[in-house]
Chain A
Amino acid sequence: MSTQPTLFSPALAARFDKLVTLYPIRRSALVPMLLYAQDEVGYLSDPVIAEIAERVGATELEVRNVISYYSLLRTKPAGKYHVQVCTNISCMLRGGNEILDHCKKKLGIPNKGVTSDGLFSLEEVECIGACSWAPAAQVNYDFHENLTPESIDKVLAEYRTKSEKGAAK
């Protein structure tokens, strides 16, 4: 595979080459591979799906069937910073809905929306495992906990600055 043309960076392609060898069957690498590809490319585009299908020895349809099951996987681009606000029970009791509403207003987008500059997207999510530090949100994979409307403002502002400085990953 490594000699074939690939859509991924050399580091990720090498990681994928190794990943399929770790399991008794290549197909076991599918879910992680989809997530890592999405992290690099931004979403699971048609060519990405085709390459991954080939790498694990599945059909594109089988891969799409798996993608549609997992809530983190997406076939359309999200914002550079994907803001995921938990409103499940523990967060709800401590103001999770208010944090979500605040983000909608602040970013000017509805749930599952993307800002026009592509910087932020917003999603109401189910429990992210931060119940004892509620209310909580994840921006990409980073946890932000014990939130208040003021503290989430600060969080969003920091990501905006990070992007402007061009220091973002």
Chain B
Amino acid sequence: MATLSTHPDCVPIVSYRFGKGATNIDKYIELDGYQAARKAIALGPDGIIAEMKASNLRGRGGAGFPTGLKWSFVPKQSDKPKYVLVNGDESEPGTCKDRLIFEQDPHAVIEGTIIAGLSIQAKMGFIYLRGEYRYLLEITERAVADAYAKGFLGKNIFGSGLDFDIVTQTGAGAYEVGEESALMESLEGKRGIPRIRPPFPAVVGLYGGPTIINNAETIATVPHVFRLGGAEYAKIGTERNGGTRLFCLSGHIERPGVYELPMGYNLRKMIYEVGGGIPGGKKLKAVVPGGASTPALTADEIDIGMDFDQLGKAGSMLGSGGVVVLDETTCMVEFALRTMKFYAHESCGWCIPCREGTDWLKKSLTRLHEGGAVDKDIDNIRYLAENMLGRTFCPLGDAAAMPTIAFVKKFRKEFEDHLDGKGCPHHHAQEPEIALV
């Protein structure tokens, strides 16, 4: 069972109902549940979007696109049915927040999906969960059935005269399916291969209809925006970065856990006060601030507010909220290699820069880690990664390239220490799994 961690600085918005038995629909209702959907019905599509825009809520999946704006791109008139698709395919390494949401408050996701549907006059929503989260699928299916029984889903929801259905869906193991267009392909019963854009999903999405696709945390936040009011919600965070988010602290940290903190919370405080610092009094070496795909920060770069804009300015990303802490004993080459092994495994193979790039980077990093590399290899690793950037159908290529470039740039000395046949100066060298090139 996944539980929320707390600290006095935590602000429970998304986690407002965690640990209170809110998987039970009556308990959820008792805790102001399904009031937001009623408010949204009264507001109508334009009112909903105005409230969302006022909240400054930005996409929690990684890109940080303003949610209200995204919804407003869906055309009012459409020959094809419109859809809402909730992305619960959480699989960015370092991220485990959606698990908590579905486990503790599945009705918030359902209510958020209804509101998203109301904003674009859709009649159907899908909640897609990664295949590994089977117990969460069961919890969510039960919650959906309970919502139907209460008349909150189906025909004439809340007696409004409007219809809205939700179907839950499971994946079957694929990081790439967390990418919005691959997600739609998977839901259409196909391999999760990305689609070329434009057209964007807001215009041509699922089954060819206009589609809103949002991360599960974003959708679970929506009812709270209406509970508090968009403007009030916006006040919690920093400028243009409304509200809170669930930060997942992991790695070399005294108190790992998922904490709900305001947007813009200082990273140093997050590590040393909220997370209790680094075990054994060791020094910090690096932080991956928002999941495996975000460029690492060095120990000198952690006096920063954790929001989309401040991290963007620092050359990284807020990403999915996965804060991975690395102490001084970590081998950065091994860490880079493990990251790349992941992307090489998960690349769908559709476009060449990603398919070949991730594989060659994995081979090059393996060779470097084992002591078989020559000087030139370090620049080659960076060159290869830089040439993947922006040259792929979907962001997986960038996700693999960006952290690699940062590792080489910021920790070059460590890469050099592996040269001249020395291999890894740290103790825990892995057994080789692939042949040397």
Contact = CB atoms under 8 A, between A and B. Distances in A.
B215 interface: no
A31 interface: yes
A122 interface: no
Nearest to B325: A93
Interface in A22-81: 22-25, 27-32, 34-35, 56, 58, 65-66, 69-73
A32 B2 contact: no
A58 to B, nearest CB: 7
B249 interface: yes
Contacts of B258: 132
Interface stretch (B33-41, B148-156, B334-342, B369-377): B334-342
B248 A132 contact: yes
A23 B167 CA distance: 8
B342 to A, nearest CB: 5
Given A28-B189, A71-B173, A129-B132, A88 B252 contact: no
B292 A129 contact: no
A93 B90 contact: no
B110 to A, nearest CB: 16
Contacts of B174: 69-71
Given A131-B94, A133-B256, A141-B135, A66 B338 contact: no
A3 B428 CA distance: 59
Contacts of A130: 2, 96, 99
Nearest to A136: B96
Nearest to B2: A133
A134 interface: yes
Interface string B156-194: 000000000001011111110000000000111111100
Contacts of B187: 28
B130 A129 contact: yes
Given A88-B342, A132-B248, A132-B257, A93 B170 contact: no
A128 B324 CA distance: 15
Contacts of A143: 2, 135
Nearest to B182: A69
Contacts of A35: 131, 170, 172
Interface residues on A, range: 35 or more
Interface residues of B, number: 59
Contact of A89 (B91, B175, B191, B292): B292
Contacts of B91: 126-127, 129
Contacts of B169: 28, 31-32
B131 A70 contact: yes
A131 B189 contact: no
B322 A131 contact: yes
Please indicate which of the listed interface residues A22, A69, A126, A131 has the most CB atoms of chain B within 10 Å of its own CB: A131
B90 A69 contact: no
A148 interface: no
B191 A133 contact: no
B96 to A, nearest CB: 5
Contact of B250 (A58, A65, A90, A141): A90
A102 interface: no
What are the 6 tightest A-B residue pairs by CB atom distance, in nearest-first order? A72-B173, A30-B189, A71-B173, A27-B189, A70-B172, A90-B250
Given A31-B172, A35-B172, A126-B91, 5 more contacts: A24-B81, A34-B172, A89-B94, A90-B250, A131-B250
Interface of A: 22-25, 27-32, 34-35, 56, 58, 65-66, 69-73, 87-90, 92-94, 97, 126-134, 138, 141-143
12 contacts: A32-B170, A70-B131, A87-B338, A89-B335, A90-B250, A92-B335, A126-B175, A127-B93, A127-B175, A129-B91, A129-B98, A133-B256
